């Protein structure tokens, strides 16, 4: 099972559309906030795809939650933008929240900086930003869940 993860698109629909078309067989596309208008357009233009999203600090008026759970092949995936958990300063609150719900994987955004880590049976992935990257290179994430295990990757555009 493949999950394509993006965050912080900040009104750049074109780049998300390109990423979706690059991964035609992905099982899920997850937007981690600050670009839910683009997520809605993706849903309209790709009705055959499965999308999930959470609200970011710039998604004013959105009714989506700030965190959510996605079950994929028996693995619990915790989704959040991360602004309410202080991810720009440290990841302790994120890890605590993910562990408290029994997550195997925690996906977060907000920092515009890609990050992947594995610690004590919890995978962490921040895909960075597809539009305003802190690294200078737009990026998104990939999560592959297989019988052999979980693999996270950051892909650069």
CA distance 44 to 47: 6
Could you tell me if 150 and 125 are in contact, meaning their C-beta atoms sit under 8 angstroms apart? Answer: no
CATH number at 103 reads 3.60.21.10
DSSP 153: E
pLDDT at 136: 86
pLDDT at 132: 82
Six token digits for residue 137: 């290179």
The DSSP line for 28-74 is EEEE-SS-HHHHHHHHHH-TTS-EEE---TT-TT--S-SEEEEEETT
Domain count, the chain: 1
For residue 81, the enclosing domain spans: 2-156
**Number of other residues whose CB lies within 10 A of the CB of residue 60:** 8
Per-residue pLDDT of the chain (157 residues; tens, 9 = 90+): 999 999 999 999 999 999 999 999 999 999 999 999 999 999 999 999 999 999 999 999 899 999 999 999 999 999 999 999 999 999 999 999 999 999 999 999 999 999 999 999 999 999 999 998 888 899 999 999 999 999 999 999 9
């Amino acid at each position: 099972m493949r999950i394509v993860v993006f965050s912080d698109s900040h009104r750049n629909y074109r780049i998300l559309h390109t990423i979706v078309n690059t991964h035609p067989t992905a099982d899920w596309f997850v937007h981690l906030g600050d670009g839910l208008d683009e997520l809605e357009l993706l849903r309209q233009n790709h009705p055959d795809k499965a999308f999930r999203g959470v609200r970011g600090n710039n998604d004013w008026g959105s009714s989506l939650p700030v965190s959510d759970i996605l079950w994929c092949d028996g693995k619990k995936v915790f989704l959040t933008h991360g602004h309410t958990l202080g991810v720009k300063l440290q990841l302790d609150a994120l890890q605590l929240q993910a562990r408290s719900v029994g997550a195997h994987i925690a996906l977060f955004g907000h920092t515009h900086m890609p990050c992947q880590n594995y610690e004590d049976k919890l995978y962490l992935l921040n895909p960075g930003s597809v539009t305003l990257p802190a690294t200078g290179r737009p990026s998104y994430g990939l999560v592959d869940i297989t019988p052999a295990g979980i693999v996270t990757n950051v892909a650069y555009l």
